[in-house]
Amino acid sequence: MVFDMKRYSCYAKRCLGYLLILLFFGCAAHFDESAIDKDFKAVKLEFLNEVDIHMQNPIFYSQGDCIYSLDSKGFSLSKFQVTDSLDWEVAKSIQLPEGKGPGEFISPGSICADQLNRVIVVDNNLSRVTLFDKDLNFDDTFYINYEGTIGTGDGMVDCTEDNNLILSYVHYAKPDKDMLVYDYDNGEIVKKMGRDVLVDPDKLASYLSVVGNFYYVDGNIFRMTFEPGLYIYKSSGKVIPIEINHHLKRYNIRLVKPGISAVKDNVVKSVKGQKGVQEYALIRYLNGEGVFLVIADYDDHRFLFFKLDKKGNFSEKYVIRNELISEEQYSKVFWYDESAIALYDRNSTKIKLYRLIFGD
């Protein structure tokens, strides 16, 4: 038998390549514990109280001392208020009638509130906006003339201090323009905007399947997309792209691009088989003073919080470890303020409020 050096050299290179790939993903999938312990403030949870919202697929929005919850499948809308003693009060809960008439819905999929505490519910199927007053009484219904589909879930719509509505949507013809600002008091589109980044046509189907969530804070729009990428829309019209994976590199965290339709409850999921990083999304203080990138590491039962400044830098970092943090248990998280956090328990359909206890 003749020893074929070229053939076996090819096999050896191929095996070495496979080994390097396995080592890369094995390292990238796990958090650097020493870096996290050094850079992150450890936070413990102290249970305060809970409220059953009786919703299987809630979409949340926070404004002032109020939390609004929309059930896109059960067609219900609820308003909760948090007291100074961090207790819950159910202000009002209503059923949303099905249909195409004024105040009726086919597919309620996103929610926000303006500075006058008016509640806005967007019907993604009808491309229509319905306005409720602060007591959840029907006020008005209007259509927005645009091409595309509004995203469904948390952080798909928001309001400015001028009570203009910001919508995140998928524009099939022009994927580089996928957000608009709408003056609903005067019934006109103020401006259209987007990432101004052309999408590879071969990846268009994947792009259209996922719309990243966003929040408006102090004149800036912070938007997370599925690449993953962070884009900050300035009031001047300038769009600042932030390379998230570059910031996370030192912690051996690498957020990966999801597959087509790999979205659950508007939280972008990682590629199947990627251990460690499970889900990521943007959340906002209930009082609107800050934006956080939250990474749910369900394998190690913890949430990682990165507070973003106006330039997209991580100004503060927190880690919360708790055995209850899992994909089956707590699937959503949003802040009340710097002293408490609210978690949605999928199993019991309850919102549970915890006091935050910061370590040294």
Q: 18 lies in a domain?
A: no
Residue 226: pLDDT over 60: yes
Q: 7 lies in a domain?
A: no
Structure-model confidence comparison of residues 17 and 359, the more confident one: 359
- d(CA 89, CA 43) in angstroms, rounded, equals 26
Q: 94 lies in a domain?
A: yes
Structure-model confidence comparison of residues 259 and 7, the more confident one: 7
Instruction: Give me the pLDDT at residue 95, please.
Output: 95
Q: 216 lies in a domain?
A: yes
Cα separation values, 205 from 210, 242, 269, Å: 9, 23, 17
Q: Which residues contact 242 (CB under 8 A, 6 or more apart)?
A: 229, 230, 231, 232, 312
Instruction: Give me the pLDDT at residue 259, please.
Output: 32
Q: 114 lies in a domain?
A: yes
Instruction: Give me the pLDDT at residue 133, please.
Output: 95
Instruction: Give me the pLDDT at residue 211, please.
Output: 53
- d(CA 157, CA 172) in angstroms, rounded, equals 19
Sign of the CA dihedral 45, 40, 330, 121? positive
Per-residue pLDDT band for 4 (boundaries 50, 70, 90) equals low
Instruction: Give me the pLDDT at residue 135, please.
Output: 94
Q: 10 lies in a domain?
A: no
For 282-311, write each residue's pLDDT tens digit. Answer: 887 655 567 888 888 777 888 888 888 888
Instruction: Give me the pLDDT at residue 288, please.
Output: 58
Instruction: Give me the pLDDT at residue 131, please.
Output: 94
| pTM score above 0.85 | no
Structure-model confidence comparison of residues 141 and 26, the more confident one: 141
Instruction: Give me the pLDDT at residue 195, please.
Output: 54
Range name among 53-57, 119-123, 247-251 with the lowest pLDDT average: 53-57
Tally of domains in the chain: 1
For 49-98, write each residue's pLDDT tens digit. Answer: 888 888 877 888 888 778 899 998 889 999 988 887 777 788 899 999 99
Mean residue pLDDT of the chain comes to 75
Per-residue pLDDT band for 19 (boundaries 50, 70, 90) equals very low
For 266-279, write each residue's pLDDT tens digit. Answer: 344 444 444 445 67
CATH code of 287's domain: 2.120.10.30
Q: What is the mean pLDDT of residues 119-148?
A: 88
Q: Which residues contact 121 (CB under 8 A, 6 or more apart)?
A: 70, 77, 96, 105, 108, 110, 111, 129, 130, 132
> Domain residues for 279?
32-358
For 152-198, write each residue's pLDDT tens digit. Answer: 778 888 998 888 998 877 665 555 567 788 888 888 888 877 654 43
Q: Which residues contact 237 (CB under 8 A, 6 or more apart)?
A: 191, 193
- d(CA 179, CA 170) in angstroms, rounded, equals 8
Per-residue pLDDT band for 40 (boundaries 50, 70, 90) equals very high
Q: Which residues contact 155 (CB under 8 A, 6 or more apart)?
A: 168, 213, 214, 215, 266, 281, 282, 284
Q: 12 lies in a domain?
A: no
Structure-model confidence comparison of residues 261 and 132, the more confident one: 132
Instruction: Give me the pLDDT at residue 286, please.
Output: 58
**Tokens 């390292």 sit on residue:** 27
Q: 25 lies in a domain?
A: no
Instruction: Give me the pLDDT at residue 103, please.
Output: 92
